[in-house]
Chains A and B, each alone.
Chain A
Amino acid sequence: MGSVGAKDVPVLLSPEGLRIDGRRLDELRPIRIEAGPLHQADGSAYVEWGANKVMAAVYGPREVHPRHLQQNNKAVIQCKYNMAAFSVDERKRPGLDRRSQEISKVIAEAFESVVFAEEFPRTSIDVYIEVLQANAGTRCAGLVAASVALADAGIPMVDLVPAVAVGKISGQIALDLKKEEDNFGEADLPMALVPQSGRLVLLQMEGHMTPDELSKALDLGVEGCKAIYAKMKQALRDRYTVDPLPAEAA
C-alpha cells in the first residue's frame, strides 16, 4: 500500500472489469493444497496459491520448551511465521522481524480460538509456517497451510480455518489481491473464517474503505473463505482416503 507517486502504476482494472491477470473481481487465484508432505512433523501441509509457495508443520501436543510458558489448564499454541531469504524480490535477512512476529501472534490467536487446547494441559502445540515464495497474501496462505497441518496432526478443533484477503483496486472491492494489486491498490483486508460458527478469528485492515465498501468486502471474503475451505477438505480427503483398487507400491 501507499506507493503514491511510484512510477509505472499499472492499470489494475480493465474497462471490461478484468484484473491484470485476467481475473474477475470475485475470483480467487489458482490454489493447490497438499496435506502431509513432511516426514518428521506430526502434521504438515504445502500450499501453492497464485505465486505464493508456503509450507507449514505442526509438532505436538508435546512437552513445552521453554518450560515457563507451560499453562496448567491447557496447551499453549506457539506459532512461528518466517519468510525464507529468497522468498521476496529483495533478499530478506534471515531471522524474525517485527512484521513476522506480529503475523505469528495473530495466527496463533486465530488457532487458539478454535483448538480444544484444554484437552492437553501443560503441553505445547507448535505451528511453523515457512514462506518459500511470496506474492501477497502469505499470512492467509500460511494460515490455511497451518490449519490443514493441524488437522493432519490429529489436533481437535472446532473447524478448519480458511483465510483470504479482500482488497480495493481502482475503487472496486476485489477478492484475493496479488502483488501488484497489493502494492498499488487502495486497501487490504485479510481475514480468517470459522465456517462452523460463521465467525472471523483473524481480521486486519490497511488502507481506506467506506463502511459500505467494508461491508461488501466482508461478504466477498466469507464467500472466498468457503471456496478455500472446500479445497482444504479435499486435500485432507485425498491424503486419508485410499482408493478401493490400489496400484501396487513399486
Chain B
Amino acid sequence: MSQGQRTDHRRRGRGDSSPHPSRDRVLVLPGEELPSQGLKPGTGTYRVGGKVYSSILGLLSPQPPFVQVIPLSGRYIPKPNDVVIGTVTDCQGTFWLLDIGAPRWAPLHMTGTPWDVEIGETEKFLHVRDSVVVRVENLDPTGRIGVTMLGDGLGKLEGGTIVTVSPARIPRVVGRGGSMVETITRLTGAQVAVGQNGRVWINGSPDAILRASEALRLIEEQGQRRGLTERVESYLVSTSTSTDRGPEAAARESAHRDAPVTRVPPVGPADERPDPEALGPGPDEY
C-alpha cells in the first residue's frame, strides 16, 4: 500500500483527495503502518516507537480518538452484553460449557438460568448439543467468558436450525436499523434471531428456512458488494411460492411471533454494536 493511499484515507469524509470518494474502506494487513497523527492505538493495532501498526487483517476504521482495525476474519471475540447463540458441549455439576464460536468455551452457571437447578442436576435442564441464546456478562483476563440466560429473549432454542456466518458479516446480516433481518423475515415468513457470534437461528417451514439460509449465504459471499439488499430481496421474491404469501404463512408467522423464543432480539443493545456502515458502503450504495 502506498503512503498516498493512507494519507487519503485519513481524510475520509472530505472526499477532496481520495481516489475512491465513495468507498473509503481500506483493507490493512498485519504489520502495516496506520495513519495515526493525533490518534491513539485502538483494537486491532499496536504501537512501536511512536508509530501505530495494524495487528490484524481488517478494515481501517478511525474512531477518534482511536485508530482501530475491524477484523474481516477469525473467530468471534466476545464483548460484554453481546447476545450470542451457543451449543452445549459439556454438562458439569454446577454449569454447562457452551461453544459460542469464541476461542474458549463459555461456562453458563446454573444460577444464570431462570430454572431452579440443583447441584449435579444440570443435565435435567440442558443436554450436550442443545442450543441456547445467552448474553455475554463478563470477561476476565484469563479469557473466561461468563454468560447468562437471565434476560429478555434469552433461553433454550426449540425447533428451527442454526446457520453460521462469519462474525464479521453480522452487521450486514442485521442491516441498517435491522433492515436486512426485516427483509428476510418479511419475504420468507421465517423467524430470524441473530447472534453477534455469527450464529443465526432460523425457524419456520422447511422451505422458509432454506430460503432464509440461502439469503444468509448471499450476504456471507457478497457482504462487501453494493446493492446487497436488492440482491437478497430479488432472490427471495424470485423463489417465493404462493403458500408463503398466503394466510397460512401469515398465521404461522404470527404464531411464531407469540412463542417465547421469538422475543430473542435480533441485536443486543444498540450502543454496543459496530455501525454497519463502518463495515461497508454508505446507505446510497445499498
Contact = CB atoms under 8 A, between A and B. Distances in A.
Interface string B19-43: 0000100010111000000000000
A214 B224 CA distance: 47
Contacts of B105: 63
Interface in B40-75: 44, 46, 48, 53, 55-58, 71-75
B71 A154 contact: yes
Nearest to A159: B31
B92 to A, nearest CB: 14
B75 A121 contact: no
B250 to A, nearest CB: 32
30 contacts: A60-B75, A61-B75, A62-B103, A116-B46, A122-B104, A123-B103, A151-B29, A151-B30, A152-B57, A153-B75, A154-B56, A155-B56, A155-B74, A156-B30, A156-B55, A156-B56, A157-B56, A158-B53, A159-B31, A160-B31, A194-B31, A196-B48, A197-B48, A237-B27, A240-B73, A242-B222, A242-B225, A244-B225, A246-B225, A249-B221
A34 interface: no
A28 to B, nearest CB: 20
Main SS at interface, chain A = loop
B216 to A, nearest CB: 14
Contacts of B141: 121
Interface string A154-190: 1111111000000000000000000000000000000
B103 A60 contact: yes
Nearest to B45: A156
Nearest to B166: A154
Interface in A100-117: 116
Contact of B226 (A121, A123, A244): A244
B143 A153 contact: no
Contacts of A159: 30-31, 53
Interface in A188-229: 194-197
Which 9 residue pairs across A and B have the least CB separation, nearest first? A154-B74, A159-B31, A61-B103, A156-B55, A154-B73, A196-B31, A242-B224, A121-B143, A123-B103
B56 A72 contact: no
A196 B30 CA distance: 9
Contact of B27 (A154, A158, A241): A241
B222 A246 contact: yes
A153 B104 contact: no
A85 interface: no
B23 A152 contact: no
A52 B141 CA distance: 42
A150 to B, nearest CB: 8
Interface residues of A, number: 36
Contacts of B71: 154
A120 B78 CA distance: 12
A120 B77 CA distance: 10
Interface in A2-41: none
A51 interface: no
A233 interface: yes
B142 A72 contact: yes
B186 to A, nearest CB: 23
B126 to A, nearest CB: 19
A130 interface: no
A249 B226 CA distance: 14
Contacts of B75: 42, 60-62, 153-154
A246 B53 CA distance: 31
A133 to B, nearest CB: 28
A236 interface: yes
A75 B142 CA distance: 10
Nearest to B223: A242
Contact of A42 (B57, B74, B142): B74
Contacts of B226: 244
Contacts of A241: 27
A63 B89 CA distance: 12
B108 to A, nearest CB: 16
Given A122-B143, A236-B57, A244 B74 contact: no
